Each structure stands twice: as structure tokens, then as C-alpha cells.
Structure 1
Amino acid sequence: MESYKQEFIEFMVDCQVLKFGEFILKSGRKSPFFMNAGAYVTGAQLRKLGEYYAKAIHEHYGDDFDVLFGPAYKGIPLSVATTIAYSELYGKEIRYCSNRKEEKDHGDAGILLGSKLADGDKVVIIEDVTTSGKSMEETVPIIRAQADIKIQGLMVSLNRMERGKGEKSALEEIKELYGFDANAIVTMEDVTEYLYNKPYKGNIYINDEMKEAIDNYYAQYGAK
């Protein structure tokens, strides 16, 4: 596993974005872990988060894109932080773009925030986590309605590796449905492998009991 991925796992734990215990998800599933990207609240945290996204995006897409699109609302700070980090790390200016939940009809009218999209633009979508692919049902039509663009792919922070609407993971379903790549900075398999019985700052976040709970969860809800 790349060192930046190991650092990102520790970063999620440090920021209390990734927690272990018993949680009820929006889907109704009872999960032994939970991720809340809303827990990134400081400038230093957002700056570091942007760097991790930038490194993962560069690994998967190189410089072959023009715009980072962050769907409202959580995707907005992600796209801003990552465009800044990408410029600093790789010396290429990437534009950021997001959507409004409601189209504005005065002043800076329209549904977009940030850069406009133009014919020929190559776009990478950036989100926190995708469990069902529902957000793509809203986001992809908005992007494709703006111009003759190409969506290079989707980058999320954590691949939960659980079933979407069918037997495959949400990211795999997105690949098949929309025809573009979908990746994550880390997978839950990476997290489990890295933290299992590993002391970190005085705690063992995934001990034998938690590992069993995670294994049982994936036996029931894991993607095939």
C-alpha cells in the first residue's frame, strides 16, 4: 500500500471522520464503522485532505483532465481544496466547478458555481463517499447538459465495498451505468488490513472483536 494511503487512513482516524462501533446507516443497515466527511472542519484539515485527493487523482488520471466537479454540498469544499493542492503539488492549474441545489435566476445566474464547462473539457467528479450511486443520478445529467464534455472518472475518499442496488459495489455499478472510471483513495479492505491489531496513538481501533464484526457485515452486505 502506498505511503500516502497509510497516512490518509491515520488522518481519517485523527480527524474522527472514520469511527468504529455500532451505527445505523441511511440505508437502514447496521454497520460497525461509519465515515462522516463533515468532520473535516479546520483549514489545516481541508488543506491536507485536498493533498490526499490530489495524489490519488494524479495516480489514476495523471494530468489528463481540466475540471474538478464537486457535487453540492459536500463536494464543494472538496473540489476547492483539491484544485489548490493539485496546483501546488503538480504545477498544473485545474478549474473547479460545483452545482447549486436550486438554479439561480439573477446576478450570476445558472446552476453552476465556479468555472463554466466548455466543449472539450475533461472532468473528474470528486465526492466524499458513494454507497448507492444516487448522487450520480443527479450529477451526471447536470454536467452533460452544460457542454460537450468528457467525464474521465469519479474519485471518492473511501470505497465501502458494499452492495449498491444490485450485487456489485456502488463504484462498479457507476462504471457500468455511465461508462467512466470510479476510484477511491482507499478501500475498506485497505483500512482493515492497515489497522487490524495495530496500536495507533495508544488505541487499537480494529481488534479481533471489531474485525469479526466487519467480516460479518461484509458477509451480509459486501459486494460480489
Structure 2
Amino acid sequence: MHSHQRDFIELALAHEVLRFGSFTLKSGRVSPYFFNLGRISSGAAMLRLSRAYAAALQASGLSFDMLFGPAYKGIPLVATVACAMADAATGRDLPYAYNRKEAKDHGEGGLLVGAEPRGRVVIVDDVLTAGTALREAIGLLRNAGANPVAALVALDRQEVGPSGRSAVADLEHESGVRVIPLVTVRDVMAYLETDPARSGTLADMRDYQSRYGVH
């Protein structure tokens, strides 16, 4: 496990982004864990989160030209990840853009805000569930003449969906866009193995993944 992945998991636990118990998901499945990146709500936590995203992007080896954040959660993420990239060892000053949910009919108008979409674009978002926001972002970028090449997200739950594939595999198959998660649920379980106090939680997660996880 990379250091940025370990730091992200510790951040998620400290801010209860990652919680354990019994949670009914939209799919109807009862999950032993729940993930909500919206609980990151302070400057220090957001800085730490953006640095983890930037490290994951650098570790991916991907070639890209700019960043894009889908409304709404992707907007603060893309701005802070751009800052973290500029401050990272590479010191890379990247342009970024984001979209509105509804087109503005006055001023500059339109759906897109920020830098003009161009070249190879990485979409920065929180999680991939149904993938609706990411699919909309891919369409927006392509319509604007850009080439979305990857989506950077926080967690891959690695669960089988209605298609028989995971949500990540579905998006990659349908769009040709690579999905880069900071961590997978298997990474989370590997981290929990180091904490004897989490043995019950780990057993529940293993049972859940044995029933619903991709293999």
C-alpha cells in the first residue's frame, strides 16, 4: 500500500468519512460500512485530502493536460487538487474547470466555468456509485472538444452491479475512460488487518465482499 493510500484511510477514519455498522444502500444491500466524503469539512482535512488525490494522480503515470470537477462535490475537489498539484514535487500548475447543474442565461452564460476544456482531461470526483455524474461530465467534455482520459475517485467498492460487472468496470467498458481510485475496499480491509480491535468489522466486510464483491 502506498503512503498516500494509508494516509487517506486514516483521514477517512478520523473524520468518519468511513463508518462501520449496518447501512442499507440504494441497491437494497445491507452494507457493514458506509462512505461519505462530504464529512471532510475543514481546511486542514481538505488540504490532506487534496494531497492524497494529487499523489494518486502522480502515481498513476497518466499523461494529462487539465482537471475537471463535476458539480457539486467535484467543484471543491478539483480546485484543491489543482492547488496540491501546483505545490507537489512536480510543481505542475494545471488549468481546471467545472460545470453548473443548470446553464446560466446571463453574463458569460453556459454550463462550464473555468479554463476552456482542451487536450487530455482528468475528472476529479468523490465516489462512483451509478456513475451518472461522471457520464455527464464525459459527455460535456467531449462535446466541448476535449478528451476525458480518466476519472480520479476516492473509493472503489468493488461490488458487482446489475450488469455482472462493478460500477468502475461498467464505466470503463462503456466510455473508454480509465477510473483511478485512491483506495479500493480491499485496500481498506488490508489496513484493518493491522488493528486487532477491528477484527469483527473486518469479518463482516469479508462476508459482504464474498457475497457481492467482484472476483
| TM-score above 0.5, yes or no | yes
Counterpart of 1:161 in structure 2: which amino acid?
Answer: Q
| CA distance, structure 2, for counterparts of residue 171 and residue 14 of structure 1 | 26
Instruction: Show the counterpart of 2:122.
Output: 124
- Alpha-carbon offset, residue 9 of structure 1: 0.8
| CA distance, structure 1, for counterparts of residue 98 and residue 129 of structure 2 | 20
- Alpha-carbon offset, residue 197 of structure 1: 5.2
- Correspondence 1:90-109 to 2 at 5 A: 90-109=90-109
TM-score (norm 1): 0.90
Instruction: Show the counterpart of 1:186.
Output: 183
Instruction: Show the counterpart of 1:45.
Output: 45
TM-score (norm 2): 0.94
Q: Deviations over 1:11-63 (max 9, x none)?
A: 1101111111111122222111011011010111111111000000111145x
Unaligned runs of 5+ in 2: none
- Correspondence 1:108-147 to 2 at 5 A: 108-118=108-118, 121-147=119-145
Give the secondary-structure state (helix, strand or coil) at the position aligned to 1:184. strand
1:169 equivalent to 2:169? Answer no
Instruction: Show the counterpart of 1:196.
Output: 193
CA RMSD of aligned residues (A): 1.5
Give the secondary-structure state (helix, strand or coil) at the position aligned to 2:60. helix
Q: How many residues of Structure 1 are paired with residues of Structure 2 in the alignment?
A: 214
Answer yes or no: is the 8 Å Cα contact 1:131–1:162 preserved in 2. no
Answer yes or no: is the 8 Å Cα contact 1:101–1:111 preserved in 2. yes
Answer yes or no: is the 8 Å Cα contact 2:54–2:81 preserved in 1. yes
Q: Deviations over 1:46-101 (max 9, x none)?
A: 11111000000111145x21211111111111101100000000211111111110
Counterpart of 2:201 in structure 1: which amino acid?
Answer: M
Counterpart of 1:125 in structure 2: which amino acid?
Answer: I
Instruction: Show the counterpart of 1:153.
Output: 150
1:210 equivalent to 2:201? Answer yes
* Runs of 4+, deviation exceeding 3 Å: none
Unaligned runs of 5+ in 1: none
Percent identity at matched positions? Answer: 37
